Structure 1
């Protein structure tokens, strides 16, 4: 039954845009309350420490689904007053948020009529299948019946995620609110794209009074008694599809979370703090995993990047390849399904290119932003080929190789064709429209690619690390071609990789700096800047060993290594700023790839330094969670690292970093053809005396290993095997 209805033209709040960077994420003020995030598939929510949405300034609060906000406000009050916070905790697996509150002193004039700390309020929130569930439990610990008015105030703007980030729009659709029945409110929005989006709020039991923006319960609660209120908020669910009951949904959600990682290698160590880091990282990766038609995919991060990103998904899958190769399978299949087939300048699309990102909101559908399916990433395509090759080598799964080979060849075709517009042998980028990203490597800030005097690089830009990705991709593709019996094609790819490596050394090496240029600009002038990009070249294995050691030594000096990790740009360079996004900050995933490269060249002592720095940083972080990035200030005694204010938490490749550091330290290699797992020059950092790996997979076989540190040496004990698998240690000095 419909009691009231209102409709309004919805307008977006104004915000200042930066002309240099149209998709900049503004930071308008400090967060008044800490934020917590939950996610399930394409739905995520940002709440504050009280379990409210939109009750305090400074956070991108809301319930979001497919890049649209479905609830912008949800505030709980007792007798028109905010409750007092007792505590707020995420479950260890990130599946739910529990908040403990109590009542403040309540006055009638100058007289206290209701003492604080009498009513215990527990708010429990979780997400499941496009619906947010919240239980509000109350218990009276007083000696008299408590007569209280509990109200929930709510509203929504159906803002596109890019509006929440600060983008302004010339026009918006029309919103409406209605009472569907005495326990249900429907908020709706008819967009400019003619799509109707709805939020259905259902209360149980029926409120004493319900309007289109509030629900009020008049409660008389006897001493020591409890009562419960349940709220569900469903995103775009038909009226006939009612959410399951709270406890049933909670149980199903927990079972689903446990099943998702039941097959994954588990790790326990002698260091309790590092165990907490690993558990948090795995829990974060678990909620970022999204079930897609092509398989599980790690969405990049919350709140701004909770969608399919090509580069982020590929690198995260690569980082986790040793522990769960199934992630790579889902990533490869999904990106192959959305590989570009045509030329579209607005989307920076060309045949064979691999996706940068995809969005499901109104602004993307109307092409107010170019990201519905956007291909402005110069490195996603070679990383796709590289991951495909590494996945096959890790698993021996040639059926996937045959399935993906047409997409691999199309990607290689782009690398050698449109990806190299001037035919000089280097892959380059330049956005095809002013709406696209100016810089299209992983450092995609407008000012991230620059010359020694600070002037920005212009024209077709060839990034150093991208050439390394192309080298490694062609090597991996050559091995795949041989596995398919394509001997001639394999030879072509190997020769192309060799030519690239020779030309790269001739063109990018900077003898005066002892490192490789950040990039070449459109006039083929090298950007003579010392950056971490050179460190990622070690991961690809393209560079000469003598020069790799010079690069590594430079990265471990104080201009780069802060004690917490390696900066993106060295101290002293023109645009160095430890508080910037890409020009002097510390990115955990960047350090992880550099660590793999250091291990590849046998520099295990440097691996240990990077490992320890990032572990120490994580030990200071809230929840022991490595963020997307943090500031690049030098480490000071008795002080933790400095946070970056709008870093995503969690972020997939940051969450995967501790596992990558373990891989680099242990020198893990997998050989399915020989049923062999090798540890090449394994080394454990000083803070780990012992480690147990359980269910380490190789094909259908698994093994449990115990590793112990003996100064700079490591012993390995096989605890259990299932199937046929051999474990060996390779030592070389």
Structure 2
């Protein structure tokens, strides 16, 4: 992903190589995308038939990029008599200004060519290499190239125009130009993508931010959001850089929902530019102390789409919170169940947790009262449909074996849940962190019932159920001879005994018995799980361990932020600080932007964190990670109308000052300072 360049605004994004070219790829979705459809699959520039090479690039802003290019091989740069500048932006549509400069002493003729294709592929078709079922037509008229795709009522269109005269054909645009010595030639290319609705209109134009916008408007909107966040002053440049980058990326990842027309944070570019139950909730928890106003739209969207029936195709059940919402062709024709899809067992308890945490920070009692039916339905789902075997645990097994997700926890790849010897358990499965989330949801639901719904009997019942769950969980999941909690229970109640990062989520939930916490912490920070850059998803001596396996050995920043939060909750402040310190040290190698995941290699083996090859970047809950780490280091915790500040800044980090932290208390400042000399984390 680091060899690719992305720009985005709202619902539209573009991914190209470092020359600005787009070519079909089996490994990664390059192209121009909007609402899960690819509107450009090829966009290749040549000068006199030659591909260009990158000299430099300016991608400081999320919605526009400038490429500086030269023809010929890289070794010929010094002799280049011409150069090219591609300035592009996503401003509702895709616009590119193309400038060719003649550096020679005589007039020169050039042939400039842009090859264009639009395959209108759905993101799921790219992942699965599926063939299109509709029909694409290409028309050329009045200097305009129009590519249209139809499949019954599904209608998408790409139109390419230019300000300079061009020879337009079905495969692209050709410019035959003459440039005087030491002069330049410029044209502006405009690519519009149309998402047709039932009445023949572009559905995006009905949204508040759906039409074309100027670059200044985009910049102003993003800056206004960033300016509302607390101001960070610190001695640690990696922390300062990661904080700035996180706020910029979170501002850029916002998109508009067709369903409600509200601004939400997409889960990640390029695969997940949509609403995800789990990802969106955890990102909301991370950003809550910084930009609480971003949270209510997500809560309301999830509540509005809460399951209300049994639908095997979509894994929908009454009270269940969605996993993923898509707008593409495969969802529209029910070749995929994502309209929306409910295949996650954790988004429902996490929904309850988020609503409670949101009220604790903001004091928004009206929202809690408004959503009482949805919260009750979510808690009811945990004890009914969620308890597939009637054992009092939260289990999962897809209702849709053809297209449903097998693993419906956060480690949702096919091999993400395994025994220590590498074998895979059958279904249903009850992973440990699901029980922690259910426990926490009941505790928090009890607070909401007692404080806002005037239902003490229900609150008492939820607290009894939580206490019973905690007791049974310790009995059934604890592996006494190894000193950690099992990853899961299989359908026969046997322990799935792999050592994983999931046990850190148990600390965050509070389900861990105090007498067990020390052992859990030892394993989390021990050499089997801790790489030196962070906690691995799977211990390095387990059967399926792979340092570059998606959920079986990589290090996930969001996962580590939750673990740090859990360590803080149980009073292990030094250990939490170590996680914070190593994550921030890793961020330096990614220019402040923590990726979705990076390799689990031991730190002394690679000297720098190795990015997972197809990691999303930016990804929302990775962008939210520095924010949650900052909360942990400063010990921020809302208590009634006050914010408790109890800092424990890692050694060498120096001063950390966060000003104007918003909440029900108004705005307050927090200051922490580490002991010992102030040294920058250098990643060594």
Q: Does the CA contact (< 8 Å) of 1:294 and 1:330 recur in 2?
A: no
* Cα deviation, residue 219, structure 1: 2.2
Alpha-carbon distance in structure 1 between the residues aligned to 2:560 and 2:677: 22
Number of residue pairs matched by the alignment: 665
* Cα deviation, residue 127, structure 1: 1.2
2:268 paired residue number:
301
1:396 paired residue number:
363
Alpha-carbon distance in structure 1 between the residues aligned to 2:676 and 2:438: 38
Alpha-carbon distance in structure 1 between the residues aligned to 2:408 and 2:139: 45
| Partner of residue 233 from structure 1, selected from 172, 191, 194 | 191
* Cα deviation, residue 180, structure 1: 3.8
The aligned runs of 1:238-317 (5 Å cut-off) are 249-292=214-257, 293=260, 295-317=262-284
| Partner of residue 594 from structure 2, selected from 616, 626, 641 | 626
Select between 555-564 and 283-292 the one with higher mean Cα deviation: 283-292
| Partner of residue 677 from structure 1, selected from 634, 638, 643 | 643
SS in 2 for 1:63: strand
* Cα deviation, residue 637, structure 1: 6.3
2:174 paired residue number:
216
Per the alignment, do residues 461 and 55 of structure 1 end up closer, same or farther by CA in structure 2, a change over 3 Å counting? Answer: closer
| Partner of residue 462 from structure 1, selected from 418, 426, 430 | 430
TM-score, normalised with respect to structure 2: 0.92
1:353 paired residue number:
320
Q: Does the CA contact (< 8 Å) of 1:357 and 1:373 recur in 2?
A: yes
Alpha-carbon distance in structure 2 between the residues aligned to 1:557 and 1:88: 42
* Cα deviation, residue 392, structure 1: 0.6
SS in 1 for 2:50: coil
The aligned runs of 1:65-464 (5 Å cut-off) are 65-91=34-60, 93-104=61-72, 116-129=79-92, 131-169=93-131, 172-182=133-143, 184-191=144-151, 193-205=152-164, 207-236=165-194, 249-292=214-257, 293=260, 295-434=262-401, 435-464=403-432
SS in 2 for 1:455: coil
* Cα deviation, residue 55, structure 1: 7.5
The aligned runs of 1:678-697 (5 Å cut-off) are 678-680=644-646, 682-697=647-662
* Cα deviation, residue 291, structure 1: 3.0
The aligned runs of 1:489-638 (5 Å cut-off) are 489-621=458-590, 623-636=591-604
1:723 paired residue number:
none
* Cα deviation, residue 700, structure 1: 7.2
SS in 2 for 1:231: strand
Per the alignment, do residues 509 and 705 of structure 1 end up closer, same or farther by CA in structure 2, a change over 3 Å counting? Answer: closer
1:15 paired residue number:
none
* Cα deviation, residue 632, structure 1: 0.9
Q: Does the CA contact (< 8 Å) of 1:294 and 1:333 recur in 2?
A: no
Select between 218-227 and 44-53 the one with higher mean Cα deviation: 218-227
SS in 1 for 2:285: helix
Alpha-carbon distance in structure 2 between the residues aligned to 1:605 and 1:699: 29
1:716 paired residue number:
none
Q: Does the CA contact (< 8 Å) of 2:136 and 2:147 recur in 1?
A: yes
1:718 paired residue number:
none
Q: Does the CA contact (< 8 Å) of 1:322 and 1:394 recur in 2?
A: yes
SS in 1 for 2:674: strand
Per the alignment, do residues 685 and 700 of structure 1 end up closer, same or farther by CA in structure 2, a change over 3 Å counting? Answer: closer
Per the alignment, do residues 291 and 261 of structure 1 end up closer, same or farther by CA in structure 2, a change over 3 Å counting? Answer: farther
TM-score, normalised with respect to structure 1: 0.86
1:175-201 CA-partner distances (Å, limit 9, x unpaired): 00112422x21100112x531110111
Per the alignment, do residues 637 and 429 of structure 1 end up closer, same or farther by CA in structure 2, a change over 3 Å counting? Answer: closer
SS in 2 for 1:553: helix
* Cα deviation, residue 116, structure 1: 4.2
Q: What stretches of structure 2 of length at least 5 have no aligned partner?
A: 679-684
* Cα deviation, residue 354, structure 1: 0.3
SS in 2 for 1:165: helix
Alpha-carbon distance in structure 1 between the residues aligned to 2:214 and 2:185: 20
RMSD over aligned Cα, in angstroms? 2.6
2:672 paired residue number:
707
Alpha-carbon distance in structure 2 between the residues aligned to 1:605 and 1:700: 28
SS in 1 for 2:240: helix
Per the alignment, do residues 387 and 175 of structure 1 end up closer, same or farther by CA in structure 2, a change over 3 Å counting? Answer: same
Q: What stretches of structure 1 of length at least 5 have no aligned partner?
A: 1-30, 107-111, 714-733
* Cα deviation, residue 541, structure 1: 1.1
